[in-house]
């Protein structure tokens, strides 16, 4: 289960009076965020424009109406918009007003309410009726939802008393929430897998796959992009499943490799030949690769190491001076968060 650590996120707050600023600073101490006073120097409009696309959460200490007018021009998509929370100046009511589930506003509001001793006012329908919220659950399981427009079909059905089926590649521990039934059928309503199938399903893809790469000196970004695209299309694995990229340290400064990772927003892990050699497993070794790098295989070994000793799900594929392999880390989804 993934629990948001807001101290590792970008959280900002703004208030309008001395009393409000005092409360905003108190709340930001909890999450390591920054508090500001409107007009010093930025107006609320300027502050919102500056932070809406950059911050993970905005906490506005003031009236709901003021907050709504401030964020309205910037709202785009529930999967990308930041969490927005309104807290009244006395700290009596803490109200998540945007991205309650996927953005984590509901969870953050609960934390902030504990700080100021206020009442957390949750207005999302699934929470009010005690119904399973698939988007919030997916976030806690570190999953990306591929078809956000299908969330309403699942949630709406559950709110109406319908039953929804779930198929998962992995066992899900804990008590199954009311309204859900596990199935092995292809026509499931909710599918959790790195290879999503089923035409009508809401697909949840865990970000748990690591891409190991080896390449010739001077390999260009375009070559890596083309090779990667063909590989993923062949395997039918969406990019949202990729958690990171790994290689050997002598390739970490390859401009093509660096730019390839930057273009996709991936962290690049680099390991020494000694570290890679110690990775246990049955790998496709090459005497040529060993002569050049000091270890018989780079892509498979680095993927497994980045995945914490996980399983190779696709072994070495090579061409155009590039080798790639995929490994998956251990994954243990749970229903338990729902009742916490």
When the pLDDT of each residue in the chain is averaged and rounded to a whole number, the result is 90
Q: Using CB atoms within 10 Å of the CB of residue 172, give its burial: 0 to 12 exposed, 13 to 18 middle, 19+ buried.
A: middle
Residue 93: which H helix or E strand, with range?
A: strand 93-98
At 197-208, the pLDDT tens digits run 877 899 999 999
Instruction: Tell whether the model's pLDDT for residue 2 goes beyond 60.
Output: no
The pair of three-digit structure tokens given for residue 22, joined into one six-digit string: 């005092």
At 264-290, the pLDDT tens digits run 999 999 999 999 999 998 999 888 888
At 115-164, the pLDDT tens digits run 999 998 887 766 655 678 888 899 889 999 998 888 888 888 988 889 99
Which pLDDT band holds residue 1 (cuts at 50, 70, 90)?
A: very low
Domains of the chain from N-terminus onward: 6-123 (3.40.50.11220), 145-206 (3.40.1390), 209-328 (3.30.420.180)
Quote the DSSP letter at residue 8: G
d(CA 52, CA 33): 15
The arithmetic mean of pLDDT across residues 218-240, rounded, is 95
What's the Rg (C-alpha) of the chain? 23
Q: Using CB atoms within 10 Å of the CB of residue 22, give its burial: 0 to 12 exposed, 13 to 18 middle, 19+ buried.
A: middle
Angle, alpha carbons 194-197-201 (nearest 5°) = 105
Residue 276, sorted as left (phi over 0), alpha (psi -120 to 50) or beta, turns out to be: alpha
The pair of three-digit structure tokens given for residue 298, joined into one six-digit string: 């780079």
d(CA 109, CA 97): 10
Q: Which residue has the higher pLDDT, 274 or 6?
A: 274
């Amino acid at each position: 289960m993934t629990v948001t650590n807001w101290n590792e996120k970008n959280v900002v707050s703004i208030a309008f009076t001395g009393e409000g600023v005092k409360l905003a600073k108190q709340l930001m101490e909890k999450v390591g965020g920054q508090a500001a006073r409107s007009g010093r120097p930025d107006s609320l409009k300027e502050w919102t424009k500056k932070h809406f696309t950059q911050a993970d959460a905005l906490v506005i200490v003031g009236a709901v109406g003021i907050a709504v007018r401030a964020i309205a021009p910037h709202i785009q998509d529930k999967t990308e918009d930041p969490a927005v929370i309104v807290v009244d100046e006395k700290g009596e009511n803490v109200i998540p007003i945007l991205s309650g589930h996927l953005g984590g506003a509901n969870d953050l509001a609960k934390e902030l309410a504990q700080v100021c001793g206020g009442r957390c006012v949750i207005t999302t329908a699934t929470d009010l009726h005690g119904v399973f919220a698939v988007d919030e659950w997916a976030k806690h399981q570190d999953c990306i939802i591929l078809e956000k427009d299908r969330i309403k079909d699942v949630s709406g059905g559950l709110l109406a008393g319908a039953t929804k089926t779930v198929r998962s590649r992995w066992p899900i521990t804990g008590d199954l929430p009311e309204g859900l039934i596990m199935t092995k059928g292809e026509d499931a309503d909710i599918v959790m897998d790195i290879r999503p199938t089923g035409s009508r399903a809401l697909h949840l893809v865990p970000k748990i796959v690591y891409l190991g790469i080896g390449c010739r000196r001077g390999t260009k970004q375009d070559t890596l992009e083309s090779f990667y695209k063909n590989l993923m299309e062949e395997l039918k694995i969406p990019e949202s499943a990729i958690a990171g990229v790994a290689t050997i340290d002598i390739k970490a400064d390859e401009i093509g490799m660096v730019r390839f990772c930057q273009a996709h927003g991936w962290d690049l892990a680099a390991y020494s030949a000694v570290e890679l050699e110690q990775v246990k497993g049955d790998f496709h070794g090459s005497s040529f690769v060993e002569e050049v790098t000091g270890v018989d295989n780079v892509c498979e070994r680095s993927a497994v190491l980045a995945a914490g000793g996980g399983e190779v799900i696709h072994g070495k594929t090579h061409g155009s001076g590039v080798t790639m392999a995929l490994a998956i880390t251990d994954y243990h989804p749970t229903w338990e968060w729902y009742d916490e």
